[in-house]
Amino acid sequence: MKIGVVFPQTEFPPDPIAVRDYAQTVEGLGFTHIHAYDHVLGANPDRPGGWTGAYTFQSSFFEPFILFSYLAGLTRKLEFATGILILPQRQTALVAKQAATLDVISNGRFRLGVGIGWNEVEYIALGENFHNRGKRLEEQVDLLRLLWTKPLVKFEGRWHNIPDAGPKPMPIQHPIPIWFGGTDDRALQRMARMGDGWMLNTRTTEQALPLIDKLNRYLKEAGRDPSSFGLEPRLNMNLIKPEEWMSFVHKFEELGATHLTVNTMGMENDTPSKHLAALAQFAKAIGL
């Protein structure tokens, strides 16, 4: 099982040297990959109508394609994954180009995690429709795979029209793996039909087990082998005690997890060095 980290961007300074040192230390500790969340804009909680979202305009988020492009040249083995990119609020052809370029400069060290998101304010600001985002995501995924595997694409869908064109350079991976986030039935059915894996954010194995059982049923209904589908739970260190780390890892291995990601946010780590110290403790505890 590959074990990676969540880049703690909401608690990280806008310091390129600190970002570099974080990634290189993570790689040196033996972690295999790094996740980054995606939010383009944060809302003002004092706006008319109020705001109940998890993040505000004061929450810091590095743009993941730019972050990973910077880190690709500063690392050798570390893999990169958006966890997740809010795909329907972005232009599909542009995402295809950005992802292909990142895949090239990282020498195939990229996975694209996608989801529909929850922040309508971002959709409005980016000029996209919040209310049909699930259906549009499905068309986007189909189109991305075409753009990553064919030099020229003719595509006319409900929301996209590619009039015999294609991106270059093509990615190293043909196609780049697309993983999904989400836990409701529609998300599970969608990833079972279309996805290469699932980025799962639940607090315990007990919460995850019925969802994994449901996903495996949907995979079989779609004619797919569950053992060929990736599964990546997240260990939130603010919720899972050190004495429970090994048990958490082993339980998810038994459930078929192919990856696991460790999140150090929410622990009052107010400097990059404190986040790295927590990861070093975890790496030692499980024998990375």
Domain 2-286 sits in which CATH superfamily? Luciferase-like domain (3.20.20.30)
Question: pLDDT at position 270, please?
Answer: 93
Q: What is the percent of the chain with per-residue pLDDT over 90, rounded to a whole number?
A: 93
3-state class of 177 per DSSP? coil
Where along the chain do its domains lie?
2-286
Q: With 90 as the cut, is the pLDDT of residue 203 above it?
A: no
Chain segment 73-97, per-residue pLDDT in tens: 999 999 999 999 999 999 999 999 9
Q: Quick one: average pLDDT of 61-80?
A: 98
pLDDT classification of 202: cutoffs 50, 70, 90: confident
Q: With 90 as the cut, is the pLDDT of residue 51 above it?
A: no
Q: With 90 as the cut, is the pLDDT of residue 221 above it?
A: yes
Distances (CA, A) of 190 to 51, 58, 110, 113, 195: 29, 33, 21, 13, 7
Question: pLDDT at position 205, please?
Answer: 86
pLDDT classification of 262: cutoffs 50, 70, 90: very high
pTM, entire model: 0.95
Chain segment 104-122, per-residue pLDDT in tens: 999 999 999 999 999 999 9
Question: pLDDT at position 109, please?
Answer: 98
Strand 79-82 relative to strand 85-86: parallel, antiparallel, unpaired? unpaired
Question: pLDDT at position 53, please?
Answer: 83
Question: pLDDT at position 13, please?
Answer: 95
Question: pLDDT at position 244, please?
Answer: 95
